[in-house]
Structure 1
Amino acid sequence: MRVTSRLLQSCRITLFTRATCGLCTQAKSVLSDVWDRRPFVFHEVDIVKPENKSWRDLYDFDVPVIHVSKAASPPEDPKLSSQAKKLMHRFTVEEVLAKMDEA
């Protein structure tokens, strides 16, 4: 029995980032390592863009931040950010996998 790609990508990870963020580059490397072990749906939000002002208001000094949710969940909502399964700043592959298990 083959596992479908839909089952493999049962989680979505949203990365809140900015272009000139060194920690964000490290976070992307960690997420790449996670992807190698467990594929996921990826979404990136540049908080500097004007259309992402509400995210910038939340995470201006906290990037990188990831939200981990089920792939079929509604898009991330700044009003519900306190309920998100999230990791901030520096995180490991194991921490991300644990959040994926929670989701």
Structure 2
Amino acid sequence: MPHDMPLAQADEIKAREKAYSQETQRQGKWQQLHRVVGQYANYGIVDVDSHDELHAMLSGLPLFPYMACATMARILFQFGTNVFFLIAFMIASLT
């Protein structure tokens, strides 16, 4: 977030961010969330059905305009016609 953003505005955005991420966790979409030591960053694992769903979920984060995101998908295993992916991402503050 910009360093000159008023503290009350920053606190409000952070509160919305926390509520949003907790709701996605309750829904089972955001399965793991880990802090990166020494950085204002997270590493997460999500369960989504498509790239579009992942994009909607990440871009819905209130802090998204202030983030740099990198995603990666790995095939975990295939069972019949079902392919199971691990989708992980890193989010870091731009400022």
Larger Rg: 2
Q: Hey, which of these two has a bigger chunk of strand by percent?
A: 2
Tell me which of the two structures has the higher relative contact order, counting C-alpha pairs closer than 8 angstroms and 6 or more residues apart.
1
Q: Hey, which of these two has a bigger chunk of helix by percent?
A: 1
TM-score by length of 2: 0.32
